[in-house]
Amino acid sequence: MKTLKFIILCSFIFSIATGVSAQDMIIKKNADTLNCKVREIGSEEIKYNLPEYSPDLMFTITKEKISKLIFENGKEMTFQNEMDNPMNYADQNKNAIKIDFLSPLTGNTTFAYERSIKPGQSLEATLGIIGLGFDPQRCKPPW
C-alpha cells in the first residue's frame, strides 16, 4: 500500500513538474521585463510567446528596444545596434579620394577627399575647378 501511494505521489509530482517550465526573460531598455519563451532570434527582431496567450500566437520585438535577454538556463545575451558596431567597419578604408569623372564634360573638374569619423559620420572636402574640361557651349556643330 505504501509503495502504491509513493508511486501515485511521484507520478503526480512529475506531471506537475513537466507542466511548469522555466521561462526566458527579455529586459527592455526602459527596464520592463517580459517573461516569455523565445522562439526565434533574427537579424533585427526577436520572436517570442507569452504564457498567458495561446502558443500559436507569436509576438515580435526589435533588438533596438532590448538591453538584455536571459535564457531559462541562465545564459545572457546582449545586443548592440549594427550601425554603431565598430567591428562591422574594421576592414573598411577610413580615407577616400573621389573624382567626379563626368564633370569635365560640363566644363569643370571636381576632386573630393572624404574621411570616416565614426560609423554613420564622415567629413568631406571638395575642390571644383571651373574651366578645366570640355565646354559644350563653345563647340560648333559640324553641319
User: pLDDT confidence of 92, banded at 50, 70, 90?
Assistant: confident
Q: Which three cell numbers stand for residue 67?
A: 538591453
In a domain, 143, yes or no: no
Partner residues linked to 98 by β-bridges: 112
In the structure, what pLDDT confidence band is assigned to residue 18 with cuts at 50, 70 and 90? very low
- Domain at 30, CATH number: 2.30.30.100
pLDDT at position 17 is 46
Quick check: is 138 in a domain? no
Q: What one-character DSSP code corresponds to residue 128?
A: E
Strand order in the sheet with 95-99: 95-99, 108-118, 121-130
Total number of domains in the chain: 2
- Residue 72 resides in a domain: yes
User: At 20, is the pLDDT very low, low, confident or very high (cuts 50, 70, 90)?
Assistant: very low
Q: Which domain holds residue 97?
A: 87-130
Instruction: Name which of 95, 103, 111 is nearest 131 in CA terms.
Output: 103
In a domain? residue 115:
yes
Beta bridge partners of 19: none
Measure the CA–CA gap between 141 and 136, rounded to whole angstroms: 10
Each residue's pLDDT tens digit, 109-138:
899 999 988 777 889 999 988 877 766 666
Tell me if 13 is assigned to some domain: no
What predicted TM-score, i.e. pTM, was given to this entire model? 0.50
Is residue 107 left, alpha or beta, with left meaning phi > 0 and alpha meaning psi from -120 to 50? left
Categorize the per-residue pLDDT at 93 as very low, low, confident or very high, splitting at 50, 70 and 90.
Answer: confident
